[in-house]
Chains A and B, each alone.
Chain A
């Protein structure tokens, strides 16, 4: 397996109103192999989402280095957008578009040619074939999140950064959605970093890290 992501001494602080910078991520280092999955757990406000945004190049880092496929991740660089996909807690589907158009949109933005067989495969795996022509305003939370996952997978990212994807779903629906997510990523060989509070989901990944006071460890306490 080749190294997909390498994080070295990553540090990120935020300026607060009291002029004292608060260190959210402090000297974090880890790596992820292609096809591997990882869970990041931690209390609310511990910096889990910030970590994902920095990894995706959506936030600048203060110190350290991030290498994605041996290339440094640069803040706001579009290459990162086409290779890294996101799944958010709120699915953020575009209500003016129907399901199929929503799924295709990121691929169109990234000007990626979509293979119809691959599209059908994802649709079948996520069991959303019957929803394709529907408006997103008429869908349940579980359906919306499956569509958000399909939307991300269609761009064929090497890495998915999933930020509490079941956060707004009930337990049973969240479980079904995550089972599908794990299964599809495994089938397609897609790596992912999952931010979650749910220990059950975390245990299903290859690695589990815990964020506490800006530090990362592989032990819960």
Chain B
């Protein structure tokens, strides 16, 4: 590309003594709005995705070993899993449902039985606990906040537990009295599904309630995220066919797929903002070509080739998109930096301040910057705006030399 092409392209956009033309700024602002919008939305969605992934790992463990029937003599398997390399911690668990009652209040929560000695190594119970002095499961139950509200329970109070075994006994005309359970703690994981209707019991307590006779339903493992796949492979190679290990993302495959789809759809829809900005740029450049027919003819009469004229107008679209991308990323950076303040102001205007945070179970708007997403945004912006610039560029190159000069 010849130096005069570069110099003239810049001068057309930023004439001497002026901070750019109206067209220049409309084009830059249009592209930057699209880039900023895409970057902000994708970063916040990534933040939510990351949060969700962290919560899923926190409440389930990073790997689960499951069986389609109760696992007997599990201690041997427990030892084998513990000795597998990269497994940081493992705890056996039982899960099921039960009927709980306090006075006239009844609920059917999910029940999780975990080993008090090892559970805190896999699940961050200290983070879940709402009581500062109670950071480990001991001999009583931990209830989720919604269950506590539904049954009007407080720490130290008791409720009745009717297990499926109790219901089975009723069929046989036996009367088994409910077990009285004391609330040791109210926990909050930040994961709505768990916080809505879960009660955590010591493993042996629930084994007895379900009549499992020392059996368990599976194991939860804590594994570094870099080694999850490796651990799953190693375990599946050693475990019998009735036992199988699953990574957290395999267990939540559908949910994660929906999240991914949501993000892809957002990306696709917001890309239209950039496309509209590119078309606006293209029409601005076309107008410029029509206005500058004489100049284009003059340049051609001095020996400028058609290729140089194409370059002159394409370069303008590249410069505009480059500045738009830079400005868009800058604006996105500022918006993301002050995202919580902005959302607090907006929610203060439109909805009760804490409703949003309570609904999403977050104290701050999460954000995760993804180089891949930003790279894709930047590359697609350049591609779209470049093609939008080609149309006026070819139109300019096709102007016959005489057409512009004869107009005089």
Q: In the docked arrangement, what's the CA distance between A88 and B295, Å?
A: 12
- Among B61-69, B262-270, B344-352, B400-408, the one that faces the other chain is B400-408
Rounded to whole angstroms, the CA-CA distance of A105 and B12 in the bound complex is 14
Question: In the complex the two chains form, is A92's CB within 8 Å of B12's CB?
Answer: no
Residues A81 and B302 in contact in the complex (CB < 8 Å), given A97-B11, A108-B3, A109-B2: yes
In the complex, which residues of chain B have a beta carbon less than 8 angstroms from the beta carbon of A81? 301-303
Q: Does B217 contact A (CB under 8 A)?
A: no
Question: Are A58 and B401 neighbours in the complex by a CB distance under 8 Å?
Answer: yes
Which B residues are in CB contact (< 8 Å) with A78? Answer: 303, 305
- When A78-B303, A109-B299 are in contact, do A58 and B12 touch as well, CB less than 8 Å? no
**Contact at B11–A92, with CB atoms within 8 Å?**
no
Counting CB contacts under 8 A, is B105 at the interface? no
The listed residue (A56, A59, A90, A105) touching B4 by CB distance below 8 A is: A105
Are the CB atoms of B408 and A98 closer together than 8 Å?
no
Please determine whether B401 and A105 come into contact, CB atoms closer than 8 angstroms.
Answer: no
- Does B76 have its Cβ within 8 Å of any Cβ on chain A? no
The answer to whether B294 has its CB under 8 Å from any CB of chain A is yes
CA distance A88 to B4 in the complex (A): 22
Partner pick for B294 among A92, A105, A111, CB 8 A cutoff: A92
Minimal beta-carbon separation of A82 from chain B (angstroms):
6
B304 within 8 A of A: yes
Query: Considering the chains assembled together, what is the distance between the CA atoms of A86 and B406 in angstroms?
Result: 13
| B72 CB, min distance to chain A CBs, angstroms | 85
Are the C-beta atoms of A96 and B15 separated by less than 8 Å? Answer: yes
Choose from A89, A94, A98, A109 the contact partner of B303 (Cβ within 8 Å).
Answer: A109
Among residues of B, the one whose C-beta sits closest to the C-beta of A94 is B295
Contact of A89 among B2, B15, B302, B408 (CB under 8 A): B408
Query: Does B103 interact with chain A (Cβ within 8 Å)?
Result: no
Q: Which of A58, A110, A135 contacts B16 (CB 8 A)?
A: A135
A53 contacts the other chain (CB 8 A) = yes
Q: Mark A77-118, 1 if CB is under 8 A from B, else 0.
A: 010011000101110101111100100011011110000000
Residue B17 CB within 8 A of the other chain:
yes
Q: Which residues of A contact B298 (CB under 8 A)?
A: 92
**Interface size bucket, B side?**
20 to 34
Specify the chain B residue showing the minimal Cβ separation from A151.
B302
Distance, CA A90 to CA B405, complexed state (A): 9
**Does A31 interact with chain B (Cβ within 8 Å)?**
no
| B11 CB contacts on chain A under 8 angstroms | 94, 96-97, 101
- The one of B12, B299, B301, B305 that contacts A56, using a Cβ cutoff of 8 Å: B301
Q: Give the chain A neighbours of B408 by CB distance below 8 A.
A: 88-90, 92
A48 → chain B closest CB, angstroms: 13
A76 in the interface (beta carbon within 8 A): yes
Nearest B residue to A76, CB-CB: B401
Of the candidates A56, A59, A88, A111, the one whose C-beta lies within 8 Å of that of B2 is A111
Q: Contact check: which of A49, A95, A105 meets B15 at CB < 8 Å? A: A95
What are the 4 tightest A-B residue pairs by CB atom distance, in nearest-first order? A81-B303, A108-B4, A96-B15, A106-B302
22 chain-A/chain-B pairs, Cβ below 8 angstroms: A49-B406, A56-B301, A76-B401, A81-B301, A82-B303, A88-B405, A90-B294, A90-B408, A92-B298, A96-B8, A96-B11, A97-B8, A98-B16, A105-B8, A105-B302, A106-B302, A106-B303, A108-B3, A108-B7, A109-B299, A109-B304, A110-B302
Interface residues of A (CB under 8 A from B): 49, 53, 56, 58-59, 76, 78, 81-82, 86, 88-90, 92, 94-98, 101, 105-106, 108-111, 135, 155
Q: Which residues of B contact A (CB under 8 A)?
A: 2-4, 7-8, 11-12, 15-17, 294-295, 298-299, 301-305, 308, 401-402, 405-406, 408
